[in-house]
Structures are given as structure tokens and as C-alpha cells.
């Protein structure tokens, strides 16, 4: 715990030091890789300004945050010194809460025996927390005051509650994460399965009665809490207009502001006649993976959650670096898979290449006027390919580990020597 506390203190100190120069947060808040139309600090300030002038913040069609975010974080968007440091404290506190939850998940998840022969290691909770706290994506997201920080916080707390075996707490925190970004609702099934596995005797598999009881409790708590949140939002705004502006935007993608996702350029070039069809395809695509992953990893639902987090970060309509910073830290809970990856250095080269292309092509297009939208979209395709390969590599590493666990010592030796090759079908 001392190491985790030290990592938290250093992470908070680093964020505070970088915030001393006001130009750094201001520039990051304008970067499309960090801030999206749904999570942007600039959009939040605009919504607060409209609200302060007595206007409906959702009437202009530019603010897409949920009403409760505007009610709680909106007052922190002012230009006063107190508002500036208050917002910094709120975002840093959220990051510390996320790191704490991830550390708890790493320490409390059920693991099988590690193989010293294969070089498997178990990273401590403090190390996983440090990955999140010192990840450049997490730091830039916090400095930019993106609401993705709070979505990551509530999702991390939901996963920690699931590992602790509490269905009600899991539903509560997952409902808050869903209220901010909608996509976390897709993780309700594997998280409730995770609750059922941690709330019974770990020496035996989850029985159907316990699973049914957990599912009923969790779904009821989730629906009830969502009704309370939406009802409070309706009471605060005086109507239901916020639904289309907050959640409808995620599904219909009307704001085509460039980001690191795959949707914005696609729908710029799409004929209106086909738009509705492909909107359904884009909306349903992340949903397709929920049932197969939950069933395939029913013995380890946490890994299904990890893969889903990476899949959603890749396929969501308005992704940002903050989504991937959280996924990288969550993946650290499975440090035992590292010896089974093909080449971690090789797989990191493509994302690093994309990180160089994204600001360069954005500058060529929007600043120097020597490029066009194709330049930036090409860099987002390289980014998506690199990060998608990382998700697939995690799945392959787990499959290889399970295969080797079923072999005798002679078979594992032949795999290590290259005489045998593990092939996944």
C-alpha cells in the first residue's frame, strides 16, 4: 500500500506541475486525439455559459454532456483561480480513484498458479496503478479536463466492486459510467458474471442459482439507478431534449468533428441514402462481441471485460486517448500473459508510428493547408490497426497460455525450442 500511495502522490504532483503552465492544458483541450465533442472541456464551458445566460444548453446542438455532469462540473469551468484549481483537484482526484480501483482489481482477482519456467510474473497493484497514473494518455486526458476521466473512474469502480462480489455496487458504478458515455452498459453481463464468481466459494464453479440471483439483483439495481439518474436529469433540465443530444449523438454520429475513431470520415463520404443502414451497423458492431466474449471467457469474466474495454475503445463513435490509457492499465492485471506475446516491442512500433502521424497530418491539413482530410484519416487507420492488433495479441497470448498449460513438460519444452508451434483456429 505504501508503494501505491507513493505512486499516487507522484502522479498528482506531476499533473499539478504540468498545470502550472496554463498553455499546456489549453492546447491539450483543443487536440482531437484527447478531447471529443462528447468529452471536451471547451464544450462543457459552452454548455455552462448557455446555462448561466438562461438558455437551454442542448438547444444549440454543440453540448453533448449529460445534465448531471453539467450540474456538478459546470461551475468549475470559470476563469477564476478558484475554479481553475478546483477543476484540477476534481480531475486529479478522479485519476487517483481510478488508480486505486485498478490496484485493487490487480490484487484481488482470482489467479491460477504462475509458471516460473515460462517466466510468468504477477505485477503488484501498485505497479498497475503506476501504469495508469504515469501513462501519457491518462495525464493528457486529465490536463485537458476531459470527461473521459470520470467515465474511466466509474468503470474502474464497477470492476473493483465486481471483483469484491457486490452486485448492487457494480450496478451503481456501471450506471454512472453508462450515464456519461453509454457504452459501459455493454459490460453489464460479464461484470455480473464476475460478481457471481467472486461471491461464491472460489473452489467450485458458479452455480446457476447464484448466477440467476446475481443477474436479477444487478439488472434491477442498474435499471432502477438509471431511472433515478434520467429522472433527475429530466427534472433539472425541464424536459427530455437532453436524450437526443447526449445519447442520440453517440448512435447517430451527427457531429463529424475529426477524432481518432473510424466513423467521422466514413460518414463524411457516405451518401445520405445509405447513412441509416451504416449507422445501424456502426451502432451494433460493439454489441456483437458481448455474448461471444462473455461465453468464451465465462470461467474468467474479468478477461472478457478487458477485451471488451479494448474493443469498445476501438469501435466507439467518439474515442480518445483516455480510453486507451485506461485499457493499457487494465491489461496490466494480466501480466502473466506477457511471456506469451509474439513481440511486445514490435507491436508497439505501429502505435508509436501513428502517434507521430496524427499531429503531423493534422497540422498539414488544418494549419499549413498543404494536406486534406485523407491525410489525418490515414493516420487514424494506422492507429486503429496498431491498437486493434494489441487487443488481438492479448487474446492470442491467453489462448497460447491455456494450450501450454495442458501440455506435459516435454511438450512445453518443444514449444519453447520452436519444434512445436501453437496455432489458434
- For the stretch 30-86, pLDDT in tens is 999 999 999 999 999 999 999 888 888 998 788 999 999 999 999 999 888 899 999
**Does any domain span residue 55?**
no
**Do residues 410 and 381 share a domain?**
yes
Question: Do 131 and 332 contact (CB within 8 A), yes or no?
Answer: yes
- In this prediction, residue 349 carries a pLDDT of 82
**Do residues 300 and 421 share a domain?**
no
**Does any domain span residue 256?**
yes
**Do residues 262 and 408 share a domain?**
no
**Does any domain span residue 72?**
no
Question: What is the domain extent for residue 16?
Answer: 2-36+78-334
**Do residues 380 and 324 share a domain?**
no
Is the Cα dihedral 86, 88, 89, 95 positive or negative? positive
**Total number of domains constituting the chain:** 2
Tell me which of 334, 350, 366 is where a domain ends. Answer: 334
Distance CA 301, CA 189 (A): 9
**Do residues 324 and 363 share a domain?**
no
Please tell me whether residue 192 adopts helix, strand or coil conformation: helix
Taking only the tens place, the pLDDT of each residue in 207-256 is 778 888 999 999 999 999 999 999 999 999 888 989 999 999 999 999 99
Distance CA 180, CA 150 (A): 8
412-418-420 Cα angle (round to 5): 60
Which of the residue ranges 99-108, 178-187, 366-375 would you say has the lowest mean pLDDT? 366-375
Rounded to an integer, the average pLDDT of 145-167 is 96
Instruction: Please give the residue that has the higher pLDDT: either 357 or 417.
Output: 357
Distance CA 183, CA 34 (A): 18
**Do residues 134 and 247 share a domain?**
yes
**Does any domain span residue 66?**
no
**Do residues 276 and 348 share a domain?**
no
User: 279 Cβ partners below 8 Å, 6+ apart?
Assistant: 251, 252, 253, 267
**Do residues 244 and 349 share a domain?**
no
As a whole number of Å, the end-to-end CA separation of the chain is: 42
Confidence of residue 203 (pLDDT cuts 50, 70, 90): very low
- In this prediction, residue 116 carries a pLDDT of 63
**Do residues 276 and 413 share a domain?**
no
Residue 163 has a CB neighbour count (10 Å cut-off) of: 26
**Does any domain span residue 301?**
yes
- In this prediction, residue 297 carries a pLDDT of 94
For residues 258-284, one letter each, b for 16 or more C-beta atoms within 10 angstroms of the residue's C-beta and e for the rest, the string is bbbbbbbbebeeeeeeeeeeebeebee
**Do residues 364 and 321 share a domain?**
no
Tell me which of 300, 334, 368 is where a domain ends. Answer: 334
The CA distances from residue 264 to 161, 245, 313, in Å, are 35, 17, 15
**Does any domain span residue 52?**
no
**Do residues 309 and 363 share a domain?**
no
- In this prediction, residue 346 carries a pLDDT of 59
**Does any domain span residue 103?**
yes
Which of the residue ranges 155-159, 317-321, 404-408 would you say has the lowest mean pLDDT? 404-408
Taking only the tens place, the pLDDT of each residue in 347-399 is 678 888 899 999 999 888 888 888 788 889 999 999 999 999 999 999 998 98
**Do residues 226 and 315 share a domain?**
yes
Which of the residue ranges 120-124, 259-263, 291-295 would you say has the lowest mean pLDDT? 120-124
Distance CA 233, CA 176 (A): 13
Distance CA 291, CA 289 (A): 6
- In this prediction, residue 128 carries a pLDDT of 95
Rounded to an integer, the average pLDDT of 134-163 is 96
- In this prediction, residue 270 carries a pLDDT of 84
**Does any domain span residue 10?**
yes
Question: Do 253 and 263 contact (CB within 8 A), yes or no?
Answer: yes
Taking only the tens place, the pLDDT of each residue in 271-330 is 888 899 999 999 999 999 999 999 999 999 999 999 999 999 999 999 999 999 999 999
Rounded to an integer, the average pLDDT of 145-171 is 96
Tell me which of 292, 318, 334 is where a domain ends. Answer: 334
Distance CA 425, CA 423 (A): 7
Amino acid at each position: 500500500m505504501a508503494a501505491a500511495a507513493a505512486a499516487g502522490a507522484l502522479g498528482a504532483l506531476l499533473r499539478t506541475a504540468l498545470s502550472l503552465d496554463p498553455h499546456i492544458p489549453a492546447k491539450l483541450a483543443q487536440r482531437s486525439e484527447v478531447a471529443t465533442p462528447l468529452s471536451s472541456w471547451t464544450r462543457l464551458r459552452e454548455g455552462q455559459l448557455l446555462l448561466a445566460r438562461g438558455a437551454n444548453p442542448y438547444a444549440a446542438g454543440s453540448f453533448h454532456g449529460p445534465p448531471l455532469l453539467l450540474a456538478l462540473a459546470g461551475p468549475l469551468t470559470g476563469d477564476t483561480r478558484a475554479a481553475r484549481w478546483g477543476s484540477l483537484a476534481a480531475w486529479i482526484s478522479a485519476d487517483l480513484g481510478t488508480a486505486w480501483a485498478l490496484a485493487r482489481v490487480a490484487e484481488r482477482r482470482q489467479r491460477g498458479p504462475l509458471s516460473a519456467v515460462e517466466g510468468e510474473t504477477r505485477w503488484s497493484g501498485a505497479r498497475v496503478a503506476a501504469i495508469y497514473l504515469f501513462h501519457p494518455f491518462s495525464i493528457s486526458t486529465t490536463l485537458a479536463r476531459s470527461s473521459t476521466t470520470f467515465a474511466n473512474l466509474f468503470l474502474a469502480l464497477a470492476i473493483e466492486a465486481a471483483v469484491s462480489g457486490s452486485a448492487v455496487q457494480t450496478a451503481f458504478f456501471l450506471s454512472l459510467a453508462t450515464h456519461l458515455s453509454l457504452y459501459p452498459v455493454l459490460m453489464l453481463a460479464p461484470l455480473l458474471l464476475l460478481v457471481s464468481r467472486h461471491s461464491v466459494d472460489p473452489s467450485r464453479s458458479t452455480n446457476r442459482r447464484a448466477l440467476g440471483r446475481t443477474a436479477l439483483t444487478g439488472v434491477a439495481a442498474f435499471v432502477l439507478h438509471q431511472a433515478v439518474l434520467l429522472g433527475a436529469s429530466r427534472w433539472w433540465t425541464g424536459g427530455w431534449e437532453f436524450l437526443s443530444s447526449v445519447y442520440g449523438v453517440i448512435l447517430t454520429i451527427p457531429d463529424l468533428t475529426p477524432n481518432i475513431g473510424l466513423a467521422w470520415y466514413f460518414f463524411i463520404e457516405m451518401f445520405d441514402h445509405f447513412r441509416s443502414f451504416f449507422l445501424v451497423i456502426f451502432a451494433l458492431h460493439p454489441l456483437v462481441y458481448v455474448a461471444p466474449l462473455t461465453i468464451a471467457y465465462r470461467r474468467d469474466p474479468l478477461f472478457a471485460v478487458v477485451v471488451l474495454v479494448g474493443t469498445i475503445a476501438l469501435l466507439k463513435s467518439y474515442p480518445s486517448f483516455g480510453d486507451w490509457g485506461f485499457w493499457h492499465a487494465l491489461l496490466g492485471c494480466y501480466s502473466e500473459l506477457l511471456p506469451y506475446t509474439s513481440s511486445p516491442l514490435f507491436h508497439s512500433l505501429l502505435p508509436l508510428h501513428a502517434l507521430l502521424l496524427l499531429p503531423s497530418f493534422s497540422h498539414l491539413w488544418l494549419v499549413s493547408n498543404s494536406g486534406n482530410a485523407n491525410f489525418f484519416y490515414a493516420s487514424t487507420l494506422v492507429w486503429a490497426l496498431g491498437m486493434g492488433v494489441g487487443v488481438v495479441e492479448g487474446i492470442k497470448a491467453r489462448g497460447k497460455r491455456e494450450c501450454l498449460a495442458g501440455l506435459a513438460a516435454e511438450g512445453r519444452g518443444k514449444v519453447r525450442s520452436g519444434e512445436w508451434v501453437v496455432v489458434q483456429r
